[in-house]
Amino acid sequence: MPYDVIIIGGGPAGLSAALVLGRARKRVLLCDAGEPRNARAEQIHTFVTRDGTPPAEFRRIGREQLRAYPGVEVRDVRVAALSREGDGFVAAFADGTRAAARRVLLAVGVRDILSDDLPGLRELWGRSVFQCPYCHGWEVQDRRFAYLSPGPEWVRWGVFLTGWSRDVVVLTSGAYAVDDAARDELRRAGVGLDERPLRRLVAEGGELVALEFADGGTLAREVLFARPAQQQTELVQRLGLELDEHGFVRVDALGRTSVAGVFAAGDLTTPVQGALLAAAAGMQAAAGLNHELTVEHALSGDAAPARPPAASRAPGGTGG
């Protein structure tokens, strides 16, 4: 096998895993299709030492640090299909080439489903429409917030948003009824509730300025929090991995999925999502992979482990 591990996905999870495996002298191919989930965000926040770093710069630094480890190869290519062959796996790339490895780490993230049913949502995503207040709440604090609650069980999340602004209105878009207990909590917290069906988000200069309702009414708002549904990538869907009740790939503490030899880390495994969390999960899965591979090799009786050459230079600074 030319590679010990093919890592699919070069976001925080994949980059972190590649770093750990490179330092553990494993031969790694990191493939990335170049469609990061946070591409629309101007900066990454809440990643200690990287707070305020643009997502592209974060990835550039990650790749630069991998260059110190000759066992790690990075390719900008989409993995179109993955199949088991012999003791390992073969990845077929979108450019028609293939590569084989003993193990696979899926770090492909998830897809946010930005519905076109609400015009403006897609355009304003990551600019005025956000999912995570920990990521972007500081930047928009004390502005006029709206929160589009996806269902009755999420209505109270509007109270939590008052940590960033005291001017919060919860929206149901007429999709469901709100019970009296939730109404009472919103009222006590000073959070508004508007149950009219939404027609569109109104923007000026690329920023949200108002919500327009189906009845023709408007509400001035500068920030919308929303929780779009998420979907696994096609590659993951085709692998038939066991998912949890919320549709995330089920993994154990070391990132092992229900399919032997296939590991997963990052957003595709959990609804608790963040760049730092994904990077940590990537490290954890890499440790699991390295342990398995090293023990397997040592017990195989192969006296000449195929290791990448020692690094010709010490890891440098961040370059950032």
Ligand X SMILES: Cc1cc2nc3c(=O)[nH]c(=O)nc-3n(C[C@H](O)[C@H](O)[C@H](O)COP(=O)(O)OP(=O)(O)OC[C@H]3O[C@@H](n4cnc5c(N)ncnc54)[C@H](O)[C@@H]3O)c2cc1C
Q: By the criterion CB under 6 A, which residues form the site for ligand X?
A: 8-14, 31-38, 40-41, 44-47, 78-79, 107-109, 112, 126, 135, 233, 235, 266-267, 273-276, 278
Minimum distance, C-beta of residue 119 to ligand X, in the bound complex (Å): 19
Minimum distance, C-beta of residue 249 to ligand X, in the bound complex (Å): 11
Separation of alpha carbons 213 and 145, rounded Å: 16
Minimum distance, C-beta of residue 10 to ligand X, in the bound complex (Å): 5
Sheet strands side by side (includes 198-204): 198-204, 207-213, 218-220
The nearer residue to ligand X, 135 or 259, going by C-beta atoms, is 135
The nearer residue to ligand X, 49 or 300, going by C-beta atoms, is 49
Minimum distance, C-beta of residue 24 to ligand X, in the bound complex (Å): 19
Minimum distance, C-beta of residue 161 to ligand X, in the bound complex (Å): 16
- The overall longest dimension of the chain from CA atoms, in Å, is 76
Minimum distance, C-beta of residue 135 to ligand X, in the bound complex (Å): 3
The nearer residue to ligand X, 125 or 213, going by C-beta atoms, is 125
Minimum distance, C-beta of residue 292 to ligand X, in the bound complex (Å): 21
Minimum distance, C-beta of residue 270 to ligand X, in the bound complex (Å): 9
Q: How many helices (H) and strands (E) does the chain have?
A: 8, 17
The nearer residue to ligand X, 69 or 248, going by C-beta atoms, is 248
- Provide the token pair at 103: 């193990």
The nearer residue to ligand X, 191 or 228, going by C-beta atoms, is 228
Q: Are 174 and 149 in contact (CB under 8 A)?
A: no
**Residue 139 in 3-state DSSP?**
helix
> Strand 129-130 relative to strand 223-226: parallel, antiparallel, unpaired?
parallel
In our burial notation (b when 16+ CB lie closer than 10 A, e otherwise), range 152-187 reads eeebbbbbebeebbebbbbbbbeeeebeeebeeebe
The nearer residue to ligand X, 84 or 183, going by C-beta atoms, is 84
The nearer residue to ligand X, 100 or 189, going by C-beta atoms, is 100
In angstroms, how far is CA 132 from the centroid of its own chain?
12
The nearer residue to ligand X, 32 or 292, going by C-beta atoms, is 32
For residue 15, give every residue at least 6 positions away whose Cβ sits within 8 Å of its Cβ, in sequence order, or none.
30, 59, 62, 63, 66, 279, 282
Minimum distance, C-beta of residue 91 to ligand X, in the bound complex (Å): 8
Which helix (H) or strand (E) segment holds residue 286: the answer is helix 275-298
Give the residue among 198, 163, 158 at the shortest CA–CA distance from 178.
Answer: 158
Q: For residue 299, with 0-12 CB atoms within 10 Å meaning exposed, 13-18 middle and 19 or more buried, which class applies?
A: exposed
Q: Are 168 and 191 in contact (CB under 8 A)?
A: yes
The nearer residue to ligand X, 128 or 172, going by C-beta atoms, is 128
